[in-house]
Structure formats: C-alpha cells, structure tokens
C-alpha cells in the first residue's frame, strides 16, 4: 500500500495569511504514461462530508476558489491556501488516486485565529 504522510496535523493562522500543507507519498504518484501526478486534496468543513478541491496534484475542481493551489510531483506535494478566509476553517486530506488500495493522509486541521 502507498502510505501518505501529511503535515502538520494542525495549524492556526489569521485571516489573510497564507497556509501550506504538505503531503508525502511512500512511492511516486507520477504516471510514466501521461506524466500526471495522481494526488487529490479534499476539504471537510465541520459537520460536513469531504469535498474534492484538487485532483491530479494541481487541477482545481469546478467552483473551487483560485486561492487554493496544489503543487508538487512524484512523492512530495503541497496545498497552498493564499489569503485564508474564515470559511476555510476545515480539515484537509490528501489522497493518492494512483493505485489500489486508495489511501489518505492523516489530515490537517486548519483553525482561524
């Protein structure tokens, strides 16, 4: 199984600041066939189901604000949230969608000061 290691487990920032969440996979998520990285990011707000934010490492899902930016390749990935807003209070999870079994990171709790 591919192990996903996510950090930090939690962080607190003030509105307007920039946040970086890291995700490392135990093996490369880069497909040699199409040169795409199979890494997704989800946002789970309190009391809600997870929502897909980003897939293929850097492609935003429809309707996701452009302050959410995914980057990285092979085994190291980052979710950057620029100019954090109060509504971004949530847990964030990475997930590899490269191979079975699909696996998730342990999550990052984002708090707004």
Partner 1 sequence: EVQLVESGGGLVQPGTSLKLSCVASGFTFSDYWMSWVRQTPGKTMEWIGDIKYDGSYTNYAPSLKNRFTISRDNAKSTLYLQMSNVRSEDTATYYCTREEHNMGIYWGQGVMVTVSS
Residues at the contact surface with partner 1, assessed by CB under 8 A: 1, 38, 40, 42, 49-52, 55, 61, 91, 93, 95, 97-98, 100-104, 106-107
3-state secondary structure 52-92: EEEECCCEECCCCCCCEEEEEECCEEEEEECCCCHHHCEEE
**Would you say 68 or 93 has its CB closer to partner 1?**
93
Min dist CB 83 to partner 1, Å, is 26
Shortest spacing between CB 99 and partner 1, in angstroms: 8
- Write down the least CB distance from residue 98 to partner 1, Å: 8
Task: Label residue 66 exposed, middle or buried (CB < 10 Å: 0-12, 13-18, 19+).
Answer: exposed
């Amino acid at each position: 199984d591919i192990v996903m290691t996510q950090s930090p487990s939690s962080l607190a920032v003030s509105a307007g600041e920039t946040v970086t969440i890291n995700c490392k996979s135990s093996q490369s998520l880069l497909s040699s066939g199409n040169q795409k990285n199979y890494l997704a990011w989800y946002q789970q707000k309190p009391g809600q189901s997870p929502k897909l934010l980003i897939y293929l490492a850097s492609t935003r899902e429809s309707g996701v604000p452009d302050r959410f930016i995914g980057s990285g390749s092979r085994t190291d990935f980052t979710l950057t949230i620029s100019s954090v807003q109060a509504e971004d209070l949530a847990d964030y999870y990475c997930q590899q969608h490269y191979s079975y079994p699909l696996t998730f990171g342990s999550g990052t709790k984002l708090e707004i000061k």
